[in-house]
Structure 1
Amino acid sequence: MTQSEHSKIKLAQDGDAAALEDVVRSIQDRVFRLATRMLADPVAAQDATQEILIRIVTKLSTYRGDSAFETWVYRVATNYLLTARKMIANDPGLSFEMFSDDLLDGLADDRTAAAEDHVMLNELRVRCTMAMLLCLDRDHRAAYVLGEILELDHREAASIVEVSPANFRKRLSRARRAVQAFTAASCGLTTPTTAACTCRKRLPAAMASGRIGPTPSPALSGAPSMSEAQTLAAETEAGLVAAKLQRATGPLTPLKDFAADVLRIVDPPG
């Protein structure tokens, strides 16, 4: 943390409204990205991000500088995503077996598959990549998102989820093996010669069922293109493909500036 950032946080803790707004604005993208990868739904992530930012603002006085501010922010955010009743109640409880069966349901054949290079193919790729992580329980999902996707140092990530570094590494290893195995068995981007599901064959059923909307989500618009993802998969060592594709989801930036809304909720004008 720079001296300027430290000073701004101190001003925010002392009640400076402008500094507090700057602090919220500086962290909202990171919180949204974490929430989107944990929930696999940009709309749900918008709501969760606002709730998390409210928690951060109301708890800001408790930050003492014992860890990096970013680490503290991730700890507050991850705790909410893992323990809030709303998050637990809305968790779909998927398994890799259930997800695999769903992917195979209604697959088109080569004659009725979606057109190549369509923008909606990329929408499906990104959403499917994110939904895959819902098959991990929340603790292992958090380990995978923090350690594999956000690529945080393992000691930092362990402190965020409040376990020992050794336990965090075990969680991450188990999650990584599960995601790699599923991706290798089921994803046509990874194993085009053996996997039954490809984005072109899956897209018609996904759109017909409403899993994918008629237009792409603006929140996912910064993702690498379908052709870029195909090139990435083709050029990446087999054991690393799953992680590379999971990271290839774009910046995942929120569609709104939360700062003013959050401060209005926390400290409404008199």
Structure 2
Amino acid sequence: MVEDKDILIRQAKDDDAAALSELVKGVQDKVFRLSIRMLADPEAAQDATQEILIRVITKLSTFKGDSRFETWVHKVAVNYLLTARKVIARDPGLSFETFGQDLIDGLVDENLASPEDHVMLNDLRLRCTMAMLMCLDRKHRATYVLGEVLEMENTEAALILGIEPAAFRKQLSRARASVQEFTAAHCGLASPTAPCSCPRRLPAALNCGRLGAAPYAAFGEAPSYAAAKVMAGAVNSGLAAVKLQRATGPLRAPEDFAAKVLSLVDPPD
């Protein structure tokens, strides 16, 4: 498999359009999943995915094979997501305090809670799970997504971020503690004593336009609301935090971005 990938990369560098197309299509889901977890906005994630894939194509000649190709792609992607002006300008700048207050302000009484519409409740669960990470600064957010959500080894994640493994472990520990503390204090799926629950939150989320008219397509393969509820209830609140963050499904790219960007750029020299 490794040899096949090496051959594909060499062919793509030699202006083989079919090889380049296969190479880009092979990473577009990974790029999209990273983008949506870093941005929490489906539209922004789609824009970022296209921009990143263009960079992958135009910078392919600089890939020397010192790491796995997928590691290099993630490095290109993280660099864009942390430094691009367009991305920085759209960052909501949330804090755990303001996000927690927002959740509490919109809650309804248990007797007025939304009926068990599990499709809408799951859409809310997934969007809230992702929005929570916006409370981390971009550096710690990238660290958490790579280490906890995507479950990368410390050495690979550190390489992607351009830091030492020891520094990565410290950043991950801080980010993990913040997410666990917030989830335990606010998320009813993770803790029965937490004030917010998806049924109590759904009416306000709909009124505020936090959900679209239909669930986002990329969430189609995520575990159901009922499954997530059972899963979270079976572990302690600290472990529930990361399990809920990972319970998003594969988050495949909602369209063929590879074909789109390949029509916009010339093959690499």
Partner of 1:164: 164
TM-score, normalisation: structure 1: 0.97
Residues of 2 paired with 1:231 and 1:239: CA distance? 15
Q: Which amino acid aligns with 1:201?
A: R
- List aligned pairs for 1:86-165, cutoff 5 A: 86-165=86-165
Q: What amino acid does structure 2 have at the position aligned with 1:167? A: A
Cα deviations by residue, 1:61-94 (Å, 9 ceiling, x for unpaired):
0000011111100000000000000111111110
Q: Which moved more, 1:208-217 or 1:160-169?
A: 208-217
Which residue of 2 is the match for residue 78 of structure 1? 78
Contact kept? 1:117, 1:227, Cα under 8 Å: no
Deviation at 1:2, TM superposition (A): 1.3
- Mapped partners of 2:117, 2:127: distance in 1: 16
Alpha carbons 1:32, 1:49 under 8 Å: kept = yes
**Corresponding residue of 1:210:** 209
Corresponding position of 1:234: 233
Q: Shift in Å at residue 258 of structure 1? A: 1.3
Is 1:16 matched with 2:25? no
Distance 1:260 1:238 in 2: 42
Counterpart secondary structure, 2:112: coil
The aligned residue for residue 196 of structure 1 is 195
Q: Which amino acid aligns with 1:41?
A: D
Long gaps (5+) in structure 2: none
- The one-character-per-residue Cα deviations of 1:138-184 (angstroms, maximum 9, x if unpaired) are 00000000000000010000000000000000000000000000000
Rounded Cα–Cα distance in structure 1 between residues aligned with 2:19 and 2:232: 43
| Structure 1: 5+ residue stretches without partners | none
TM-score (norm 2): 0.97
Code of the residue aligned with 1:121 in structure 2: it is L
User: Do structure 1's residue 262 and structure 2's residue 261 form an aligned pair?
Assistant: yes
8 Å CA contact 2:187, 2:194 repeated in 1: yes
2:143·2:168 contact (CA, 8 Å) conserved in 1?
yes
- Moved runs in structure 1, 4+ residues, more than 3 A? none
State the 1:259 CA deviation: 1.7
Structure 1 window deviating more from structure 2 (101-110 vs 133-142): it is 101-110
For 1:48, the aligned partner's letter is A
Q: Which amino acid aligns with 2:155?
A: R
Aligned length: 267
Match of 1:245 in 2: 244
- Please report how far the alpha carbon of residue 117 of structure 1 lies from its aligned counterpart in structure 2 after TM superposition: 4.5
1:174 matched to which residue of 2?
A: 174
